[in-house]
Structure formats: C-alpha cells, structure tokens
Amino acid sequence: MADTNKATVVLGSQWGDEGKGKLADLLAADADICARCQGGNNAGHTIIADGVKYAFHMLPSGLVNPSCVSVVGSGVVLHLPGFFGELEELEEKGLNCDGRLFVSDRCHLVFDLHQIVDGLKEVELGRGSIGTTRKGIGPTYSTKASRSGIRVHHLYHFDEFEKRFRSLVASRHRRYGDFEYDVEKELQRYRELAERLRPYVIDSVEYLYNELKAQKKVLIEGANALMLDIDFGTYPYVTSSSTAIGGASTGLGIPPSRIGNVIGVAKAYTTRVGGGPFPSELTDDVGQKLRDVGAEYGVTTGRPRRCGWLDLVVLRYSNMVNGYTSLNLTKLDVLDVFDEIKVAVSYTINGKNVTSFPADLDDLETATVNYVTLPGWNKDISKCRKFEELPKNCQDYVRFIEKDLGVPVEWIGVGASRDAMIKID
C-alpha cells in the first residue's frame, strides 16, 4: 500500500503573533510529534490551557499536550541557557517533559556573543535598525551561512568546539572591536551545558523519517511569519530564517512530498513588532484601540506591537508562497467593539493598481492603500462556538476574506484560551 502519511504545518501568514501557538496546541492533541523547524528564542507563542498561561520561545508548543513528543529541528538556532531556562519555567508550571523532548544534533548554537553582536549591529544601523529581539538570531544565521557556525554535535568533540569557538570570538572582535566577553568562563559553561543537553540530542532526520514511515502524526509549528521570511518578507526588515513553507522541509530534513495540510494563521487585523513597512498601519486612536483590546505586546520583549487593519494584499501574497489549504482566522473577537471595519484590498503605486506585495520598499513607501469598509457587529462573540452563532456581519466578514483569498477558513479564534475556537467542518 502506498505510504501517504504527511505532516501538517502551521504557519504565520502576516508579520507574526497571529496566534500560532494556540492552534499548534489544539492540533497537538491529535499529533504524536510536534516539531519546530526554524527561528529561535525570538519567537513568543502563547498558550492558555486550563487557566494556565505558557509562553514558548524556542520549544514546540506541542509540549503542553502530555502525550506529544517535541522535536527542535536542525533549522532552529539554539541558545542553550535559554533552552534550559524555558524548560525550567514550563516544568515549574507542571509540565513533565521527560523523555519527550529532542534536539537535532545539527542545530546551530546561539551564544551570548551572538546576542551582543545583535545589539551592536542594531546600534550601528541607527535609525534604520531592524528592531530585532536581540536574541542573536541574525548573527547566528550569519555565522551558519558563512560556515563559521558551531553546531550541537561539536559539543561532543570539545577540542573542535573550543577551536571553533575561539576563532568565532576573535572574528567578532575584529569586526566589532572591543566588547566584554569572558571566553574562558563561557567555555567552562558550555562544557557543563553539553553534558546537560546530551540526553536530548538525536539525529532528527532519521527520527522523523522513521516516525513518518511508521504513520505517526507529525505537526510542524512555524515561528515568526511569511512577511518576516528572509527571502519573501519585507527585506531587510525580516528575521533571518525561512519562515515560509520551504523552511518546514529544509529546517527538518523532510521531503516536500511528506508535507500535507498547510494551515495559515491570520489575525483578523494586522500587527507588526519592530521596524519596517506596514501599509495598513494605524497610528491613531483606532490603532491604539486595537492594541488595547487585543493586548498587543511582545511575548519575548514586551514591546508594544504596531496595529492596523487586515491587509488582503499581504494575505494574497502570503498564500501564493505558502499555498494554504485552510486558514485559522484569529482574534476576531477583538473587532467586536468597532462600528466599522476596514480591509486593505489593493495598493496604488505610481498610478497603478497593485494587487500583489511589491519587493521594493521604496515603491511601497509611495503606495496609497485602497480599503473597503465593512459594517461591524458590535456584539460579544467570545462565547460563540459555532459559525452559525456569529452575528451576520461577522459571518460576512469571514466570508469576504475567504472569497477574496479562495482559501477556506477552518478555524476562528474568539478568545485567548484553548477552548475559544470555532471549528468549521
């Protein structure tokens, strides 16, 4: 019989913080394995389950489900002190992760050195800074691409680790001058961290290959989002990993033929944290209202998120790259308090109507955003659990998005907790 077992992928469709963690947690109830394929502890995925709030950064959200095994794939960049810190926090909240958390031996390591450099680079960029989380993500993917990175397996040949580490520090000093960094202390710390990490380390390529072949259900949890993708995002205002569908394959070493459903998570409005273009941004009272009602503050840094209306140009483009099989429209309840709701449907650039997202940020800067205005519903939808229970204007809002994108909305978020979700069959 043909082996048709395929992984399901959850991806951010806008600029992040769409509510991927919540959906990943829900889907993990039905998954054997939940894997992260890219990013690092820049991510912040919130889960509210049975009244407990969890903030995940580099660990997979599947961990909240006690029968789900979690895998940190090779495309993830791993800050070991952060890894153990996050694990301790989860265990303090009552999660037992023993024997069900694995880390790829091919993951690149993020050192405090990378985090220092992240900060120095941002200062150097001045007004043009990216607004990174300063978790060392860009500098680590840079050393990976320039082939001077250090991977998990190097920890277990410590002479090689030490040689590569000293050379890495020296090169960063040559580039960024003098900064405080205690190499000897760090080497000692990593000797200890290596032993602590040993029980978690696996060859995740072989592991996932065998598990998929054994018909195990695999869920891949994307971090960040399409508009932050290193290739397809608003470059250079992006993160440094492949947040698009391709990253699921390259970040885990599984073939594209093993990828099945791709669920795009889309917030019912738009947010962005950090610098860079945001055509439908609202810098007025309406934007502030979205921030207040939606509690739009960074999970990792606490930064206020920039807020604006839903942008269908972004979502259309996002769907072209990722090919969503369905959408999870989240935070629809946040729009309960608006009399009217606008949706960006196209941009006008140099007198031309543009329906896909432009590559050139200078072009984008001159864009006029064209909106349609839809009526609000002015009603609390947080208790609704069926599509039919939503007010008519709210149903129409969902259908409007669905029709424009040609992608079915399968899930609708009406509140932060695990149960506040409508599933449309």
Catalytic residues: 17, 45
Distances (CA, A) of 36 to 7, 39, 253, 361: 12, 8, 12, 30
The residues in 198-237 that bind ligand 2SA, with binding defined as CB under 6 A, are 224, 228, 237
- Structure tokens belonging to residue 421: 């979700």
Residues 6 or more apart whose CB falls under 8 angstroms from that of 295 comprise none
Which partner, ligand GDP, Mg ion, ligand 2SA, none, binds residue 132 by CB below 5 to 8 Å per kind? ligand 2SA
Q: How many CB atoms lie within 10 A of CB 285?
A: 8
Task: Please identify which residue in 33, 63, 72, 130 interacts with ligand 2SA, judged by CB under 6 A.
Answer: 130
Check residue 206 and report its DSSP letter: H
Contacts (CB under 5 A) with Mg ion, residues 71-130: none
Q: How far apart are CA 56 and CA 15, in angstroms?
A: 18
Reported as half-sphere exposure (CB side, CA atoms, 13 A), residue 352 has a value of 7
Q: Which residues contact 388 (CB under 8 A, 6 or more apart)?
A: none
238 dihedral zone (left: phi>0; alpha: psi -120 to 50; beta): beta
318 binds, among ligand 2SA, Mg ion, ligand GDP, none (CB under 5 to 8 A by kind): none
Nearest residue to 70 via CA among 50, 82, 56:
56
> What tokens does 295 get?
């509690």
Which residue stretch of 41-49, 172-180, 254-262, 280-288 sits at the interface with ligand 2SA (rule: CB under 6 A)? 41-49
Task: State in angstroms the smallest separation of the CB of 82 from ligand GDP.
Answer: 16
Residue listed under structure tokens 């569908």 = 245
Residue 245 and residue 251: Cα distance in Å, rounded?
Answer: 10
Is residue 413 within 8 Å of 328, Cβ to Cβ? yes
Our CB check for ligand 2SA shows the closer of 130 and 381 to be 130
Residues that bind ligand GDP (CB under 6 A): 12, 16-22, 44-46, 48, 295, 299, 330-331, 333-334, 413-416
Kindly indicate which of the ranges 176-184, 211-219, 293-301, 385-393 contains the residues binding Mg ion, using the contact rule CB under 5 A.
Answer: 293-301
7-12 and 326-330 beta bridge pairing: unpaired
Choices 42-50, 232-240, 243-251, 325-333 (CB under 5 A): range interacting with Mg ion: 42-50
Residues 48-87 binding ligand 2SA (CB under 6 A) are none
Residue 138 touches which member of Mg ion, ligand GDP, ligand 2SA, none, C-beta under 5-8 Å by kind: ligand 2SA
Which of 10, 15, 17, 56 binds Mg ion (CB under 5 A)? It is: 17
Decide the pairing of beta strands 77-78 and 45-49.
Answer: unpaired
Q: Which token pair is 278?
A: 């945001």
Stretch that binds ligand 2SA, among 128-136, 167-175, 339-347, 375-383 (CB under 6 A): 128-136
Q: Are 332 and 374 in contact (CB under 8 A)?
A: no
Q: What DSSP state is assigned to residue 65?
A: S
Choice from 8, 13, 70, 133 touching ligand 2SA (CB under 6 A): 133
User: Is residue 298 within 8 Å of residue 274, measured between CB atoms?
Assistant: no
Write phi, then psi, for 277 (nearest 5 degrees).
Answer: -65, 150
Nearer to Mg ion, 227 or 390 (CB): 227
Ordered DSSP codes for 70-123: EEE-TTBEE-HHHHHHHHHHHHHTT---TTSEEEETTPEEPPHHHHHHHHHHHH
Q: Measured from the CB atom, is 224 or 242 closer to ligand 2SA?
A: 224
Partner whose binding site includes residue 280, from Mg ion, ligand 2SA, ligand GDP, none (CB under 5 to 8 Å by kind):
none
Our CB check for ligand 2SA shows the closer of 261 and 288 to be 288
Residue 148 contacts residue 178 (beta carbons within 8 Å)? no
Interface with ligand 2SA in residues 11-30 (CB under 6 A): 16-17
For residue 36, the minimal CB distance to ligand 2SA (Å) is 13
CB of 233 to ligand 2SA, least distance (A): 8
Q: Where does this chain touch Mg ion (CB under 5 A) — which range of 44-52, 155-163, 384-392, 395-403?
A: 44-52
Binding site partner of 131, from ligand 2SA, ligand GDP, Mg ion, none, Cβ cut-off 5-8 A by kind? ligand 2SA
Choose, by CB under 6 A, the member of 75, 274, 294, 358 that binds ligand 2SA.
274
State in angstroms the smallest separation of the CB of 14 from ligand GDP: 9
φ, ψ for residue 100, nearest 5 deg:
-135, 25
Write out the residues near ligand 2SA by the rule CB under 6 A. Answer: 16-17, 42-44, 130-133, 135, 137-138, 224, 228, 237, 239-240, 273-274, 298-301, 303
Write out the residues near Mg ion by the rule CB under 5 A. Answer: 17, 44, 299
